[in-house]
Chain A
Amino acid sequence: MELIIAIFIGLLFACGVYLILRRSIVKVILGIFVLSNATNLIIFLAGGIKSEAVAFIPDDAESLNPELINDPMAQVLILKAIVIGLGIAAYILALKYRYFEVTGTHDLDQLKNTDQK
C-alpha cells in the first residue's frame, strides 16, 4: 500500500511541476493546488499507515495492541494544512481575477515589466 501511495505522490508532484512551468496563470495556480495536495499526502504517508488500525482508543479498552494503533497526529497536521491550503486557494483565485481585470490576459509573459523597473 505504501508503495502505491508513494508512486501516486510522485505522479502528483510531476503533474504539479509540469503545470507550474506552463505559461498560463490558471494552469500555474492549478499546479500549486496539485502540489499542495501531494504535500498533504506526504505527511499522511510519513506518519505511517496500517490497515485496520484505529486512531482513537476507546475508553473501555482492556488491552492494547500497538500494532493496531494508527498515529492520529499526522492526520491532524494534514487537516491544518488543508485548511491553510483552502485559504490560500481562495486568495489566489481572487488575485487571479483582479489580475485579469487589470491586464486582460492570462499570459505569464506579460509579467516582465516589473523586472525592468
Chain B
Amino acid sequence: MSLFAHILIPLGFIILALLIKKASIKRRLAILFAAINFLWSLTLIPIVQFNDIIVVQTGGWEAPYGISLVADKFSVIMLVIAAFIFFISTVYGAQEVDKERRKSGHFFFSFGVLAGVNGSFIAGDIFNLYVWFEVMLMSSFILVSLGGERPQMEGSIKYLILNLISALFFVSGVGLLYGNLGTLNMAHISQIIANNKEIIPLLNPALILMFVSFAIKGALVPFFFWLPASYHTPPPTVSAMFAGLLTKVGIYSLIRFYTLYLYHDDLFWNKIILWLGTASMIVGAMAASSQIFFRKILSFHIISQIGYIVIALAFFTKASLAAAIFFLVHNMLSKTNAFLVGGIIRRQTGTLNIKALGDIYRQNPIWAILFFISAFSLAGLPPLSGFAAKYLVIKAGVEADMILISMIALFTGILTLFSMVKIWMEVFWKKVPEDIAVPLPVKKRKEHWMLTASIAMAVMIIIMGVNAQSLLNFCNSAAHTLLNPDIYINAVLNQ
C-alpha cells in the first residue's frame, strides 16, 4: 500500500491544481504536497531495512500476470533523494518561476515529472516502466517549452525528437522481448534467463534496443547531444530539477537491467558499458571546459559524472555497486545545487555568460559559498560528498583490477576541477570586465526562499560528505540485493 502513495500523492496534487485558480494557493499547496511526498518516502526506509524488498501486486493479480510494484533498497534510496530534490526545487521554484509560468501550470507539470520519476523507480514490469518514462517525458517536454521563448523552442525541439526516438527504441525492445519470452514481469524475465542461459543470444537484439534507449535517457556518449542543447534554455528551477532527476532515471534503469539480465552475458555487455562510461567521462569533462556559459558547463559536466556511475557499474563488484549508488546520490544533490545557484545569479544579474559576470564574491559572499560547496563537491574535494564518492569508485576500480580505467577516472577529476575553477574564477573572483558595453545592473529582488532551498541542499552535501559511512552502509546492503537477483525474483514471484 505504501508504494501506491508515491503515485497517488503527485496525482492528487494534479487533480487539486485543476480545481484551484489562484496562483498563490497553488504555490503553497505544491510545497505541502512535495513535503508530504518526501516524508512519505522516508517511512519506506525502516520497512526495507527490515524486509529487504517491498512488493505490491496491483489489483490483487499475482505476479507474473498482474503488474507488480517493487521497491528494494536501491529504489528506496532513489525515491528518498528524488523526493528531497523535488521538495527543494519546489520551494525554490515558488519564488524563482515567474507568475505567468506558475499560472500556466509549472507546478502542475512538475508534479507530472515527479509521478513519472517515482513510478519508474518502483516499476516491476517493463511495459509499466515504459509508461512511466512516457509520463515523465510528456511532462518534461511541456516544462522545457513552457513560456515559449525562442531559445526554449529550439531546445525543446531537440529534446523532444531525440527523447521520442529513445522511447520508440524502448517500446520496440519491449515488444521483441515479449515475443520471445511471453512475459513482461522483470523478475519473471530474469528467472527465465537464469534457468535457460542459451536463450540470451536470442534476446540480445531486444536488450540492445533497450540499452540504447537508456543510454539516450542517461546521456551517455555518443547519445548525449540532446542534453547540452536543451538543459540551459528553460527557467533555472526546471533545469535544476531535470539535472537532478531525469538522466538519473535512465541510469537507474540501466543498473536495474544490468543486475537482472545483462550480467548473464558479461562477455558481451561488460566491455560495451565500461568503454561507453569511460568515453562519457572524458568527453563530458573536456566539452565542459570549452564552454563559456554557466549552465552549459554544468550540462556537459552531467555527462562526465554519468560516466563515473557507469564505470562503477561495469566493475560489478559489491563495493563498486555501492560506490555507484553513492555517486548517484552525491551527483543528484551537488548538481542540482550548482544549477540552483546559477538561477539566483541569473535572477540578479540577468545573464549567465561567465565572461560578462564577475566579482560576485565581494557582492554576495553567501552565493559564492553555496556555489563553492556544490562545485567543489562535484570536483571531489574533501570533506564534501564528492570526495567520498570519487574515492569509493576509484578504490573499487583498483580492487577490481581495472587500473587503467581508474587512472582515467582520476585524471578526469583534474579536468572537472579545471572547469569548476573556471566558473569560480570568472564569475565569483575576477573584476567585472570594463569593456562590456552595458554595465550589468544588480537588481535587488526577493530571494529568501531560493536561498533557503539552496542552503538546505548545501547542508545535505556537507552532511553526506562528513557522515559518509552511514549512507555507505545502506548502499552496501542495497548492492548486496542487486548482486543477488534471486532475492528480488523470489520476493516478486512469491516463491
Given contacts A39-B171, A42-B175, A99-B153, contact A84 B131 (CB under 8 A): yes
> How far, in whole Å, are A84 and B156 apart by their CA atoms in the complex?
19
- CB <8 Å contact, A95 and B131: no
B154 close to A (CB within 8 Å): yes
Contacting A at CB under 8 A, from B179-209, are: 179-180, 182, 184
A46 close to B (CB within 8 Å): yes
A-chain residues with CB within 8 Å of residue B165 when the two chains form the complex:
20, 32, 35
Give me 18 other A-B pairs in contact (C-beta within 8 A), A43-B174, A46-B176, A113-B150 excluded. Answer: A36-B164, A42-B175, A43-B175, A46-B179, A47-B178, A47-B179, A73-B184, A81-B171, A84-B134, A92-B164, A95-B156, A95-B160, A102-B149, A103-B150, A114-B154, A114-B229, A114-B230, A117-B296
Contacting B at CB under 8 A, from A10-52, are: 20, 25, 28, 32, 35-36, 39, 42-48
B365 close to A (CB within 8 Å): no
Closest to A20 in B: B161
Closest 10 CB pairs of A and B: A46-B179, A43-B175, A114-B154, A46-B175, A99-B153, A111-B154, A42-B172, A39-B172, A39-B168, A84-B134
A-chain residues with CB within 8 Å of residue B178 when the two chains form the complex:
43, 46-47, 73-74, 77
B-chain residues with CB within 8 Å of residue A48 when the two chains form the complex:
179
- CB <8 Å contact, B161 and A42: no
Binds A, one of B29-37, B138-146, B383-391: B138-146
- CB <8 Å contact, A87 and B154: no
Smallest CB–CB gap between A113 and chain B, Å?
A: 6
B-chain residues with CB within 8 Å of residue A46 when the two chains form the complex:
175-176, 178-180
> How far, in whole Å, are A39 and B210 apart by their CA atoms in the complex?
13
> How far, in whole Å, are A56 and B110 apart by their CA atoms in the complex?
40
A contact face: mostly helix, strand, loop, or mixed: helix
Closest to A76 in B: B127
Find A103's partner among B153, B232, B353 (CB 8 Å cutoff). Answer: B153
Q: How many residues of B contact A (CB 8 A)?
A: 39
B contact face: mostly helix, strand, loop, or mixed: helix
Given contacts A80-B131, A111-B158, A114-B155, contact A98 B145 (CB under 8 A): yes
> How far, in whole Å, are A2 and B149 apart by their CA atoms in the complex?
48
- CB <8 Å contact, B161 and A102: no
Contact with B along A70-98 (1 / 0, CB 8 A): 01011001001100100110011001001
Find A114's partner among B134, B160, B180, B233 (CB 8 Å cutoff). Answer: B233
Smallest CB–CB gap between A89 and chain B, Å?
A: 10
B-chain residues with CB within 8 Å of residue A98 when the two chains form the complex:
145, 148, 153
B-chain residues with CB within 8 Å of residue A92 when the two chains form the complex:
160, 164
A-B interface contact total, Cβ < 8 Å: 94
Smallest CB–CB gap between B295 and chain A, Å?
A: 10
Which of A39, A87, A114 gathers the greatest number of chain B CB atoms within 10 Å? A114
B293 close to A (CB within 8 Å): yes
- CB <8 Å contact, A32 and B153: no
Contacting A at CB under 8 A, from B327-355, are: 353
- CB <8 Å contact, B168 and A113: no
- CB <8 Å contact, B157 and A99: yes
Smallest CB–CB gap between B335 and chain A, Å?
A: 20
A-chain residues with CB within 8 Å of residue B148 when the two chains form the complex:
98, 102
**22 A-B contacts (beta carbon < 8 Å):** A20-B161, A25-B157, A35-B165, A35-B168, A36-B164, A39-B175, A42-B175, A47-B179, A48-B179, A74-B175, A77-B174, A77-B175, A80-B131, A92-B164, A95-B141, A95-B153, A95-B157, A98-B153, A113-B150, A114-B155, A114-B232, A117-B296
Smallest CB–CB gap between B234 and chain A, Å?
A: 11
- CB <8 Å contact, A95 and B145: yes
A-chain residues with CB within 8 Å of residue B439 when the two chains form the complex:
none
> How far, in whole Å, are A50 and B155 apart by their CA atoms in the complex?
45
A115 close to B (CB within 8 Å): yes
Find B179's partner among A28, A74, A84 (CB 8 Å cutoff). Answer: A74
A-chain residues with CB within 8 Å of residue B150 when the two chains form the complex:
102-103, 113
- CB <8 Å contact, B233 and A88: no
Smallest CB–CB gap between A28 and chain B, Å?
A: 6
B151 close to A (CB within 8 Å): yes
Smallest CB–CB gap between B492 and chain A, Å?
A: 19
- CB <8 Å contact, B138 and A88: yes
Given contacts A39-B168, A103-B150, contact A47 B175 (CB under 8 A): yes
Smallest CB–CB gap between B208 and chain A, Å?
A: 14
B-chain residues with CB within 8 Å of residue A115 when the two chains form the complex:
229
B-chain residues with CB within 8 Å of residue A81 when the two chains form the complex:
171
A-chain residues with CB within 8 Å of residue B232 when the two chains form the complex:
114
- CB <8 Å contact, B179 and A87: no
Smallest CB–CB gap between A80 and chain B, Å?
A: 7
Smallest CB–CB gap between A116 and chain B, Å?
A: 9
- CB <8 Å contact, B153 and A102: yes
- CB <8 Å contact, B168 and A36: yes
> How far, in whole Å, are A34 and B365 apart by their CA atoms in the complex?
54
B-chain residues with CB within 8 Å of residue A73 when the two chains form the complex:
178, 184
Closest to A96 in B: B157
Smallest CB–CB gap between A107 and chain B, Å?
A: 12
- CB <8 Å contact, A43 and B171: yes
Closest to A32 in B: B164
Which of B131, B164, B180, B184 gathers the greatest number of chain A CB atoms within 10 Å? B164
Closest to B169 in A: A39
A-chain residues with CB within 8 Å of residue B157 when the two chains form the complex:
25, 95, 99, 111
Contacting A at CB under 8 A, from B96-149, are: 127, 131, 134, 138, 141-142, 145, 148-149
